[in-house]
Amino acid sequence: MQSKKLNLNMLLGIAMVLISCMFFTSCMEEEQLEELVQNAQETGTTPEPIEPEEPAVALPGLPEDVAGYEQWLKLNAEPIPPVEGGDPHLGTKNVYVNQTRETIAPNGQQQFPYPDGSIVVKEAFRPNKDYVGLIAIMRKVAGIDPEHNDWEFIEYTRNAPDAEFRVIASDGICWGCHAQVEDIDYVFTELD
């Protein structure tokens, strides 16, 4: 009688262990599945267009289409130092473009011309100043100026960190120098 009871208890015990094992493995499987799905989603995504994390606001006085330019693709790996003895855009400079590396340099080799809608922004920190004092923009607009590869040139400056940018020069003043690099679509700075 007693041994029968013992057997029953043992059987019950084994059953419990089996059931909890099944439960545990099914949980594991679910977890693993979730992980797999998540991994697939993470690795399977194609590169998204560059989106600023926060809604970007243009610096005062600058057009809205350059808002958040600091988050665009930077062409230069290192800041471009001031040019000794007459710098057209005096200061320490960075050059950004609203395109992805894949678009302008498929297979790692930069292609020219830039596509329609491209905006190239150069910022310059004036010597010994810690705010952007100059913004030069090249904007590619189909049909706007076929003689200069449809680039619109415009430059803005300001003299205080909270001041509004003002236009100081555009197009004709810029063509002379930039025509030197007509073969690479008028843009001096190449993608590093």
Binding site for ligand HEC (CB under 6 A): 80, 83, 88-89, 93, 95, 120, 122, 136-138, 153-155, 169-170, 173-174, 176-178, 187-189
Give 152's strand partners.
139
Q: Which is nearer to ligand HEC, 9 or 179 (CB)?
A: 179
Helix (H, G, I), strand (E, B) or coil at 125: strand
- In angstroms, give the least distance from the CB of 31 to ligand HEC: 51
Q: Which is nearer to ligand HEC, 44 or 86 (CB)?
A: 86
- In angstroms, give the least distance from the CB of 160 to ligand HEC: 21
Q: Which is nearer to ligand HEC, 98 or 189 (CB)?
A: 189
Q: Which is nearer to ligand HEC, 14 or 83 (CB)?
A: 83
Torsion sign over Cα 88, 90, 91, 97: negative
- In angstroms, give the least distance from the CB of 60 to ligand HEC: 19
Please enumerate in sequence order all residues whose Cβ is within 8 A of that of 112, keeping only pairs 6 or more positions apart, or say none.
Answer: 183, 184, 185
Beta-carbon-side half-sphere exposure of residue 84 (alpha carbons within 13 Å)? 0
CA distance 117 to 103: 12
Torsion sign over Cα 59, 60, 62, 67: positive
Reference 124, options 58, 161, 80; nearest CA is 80
Q: Which is nearer to ligand HEC, 79 or 159 (CB)?
A: 79
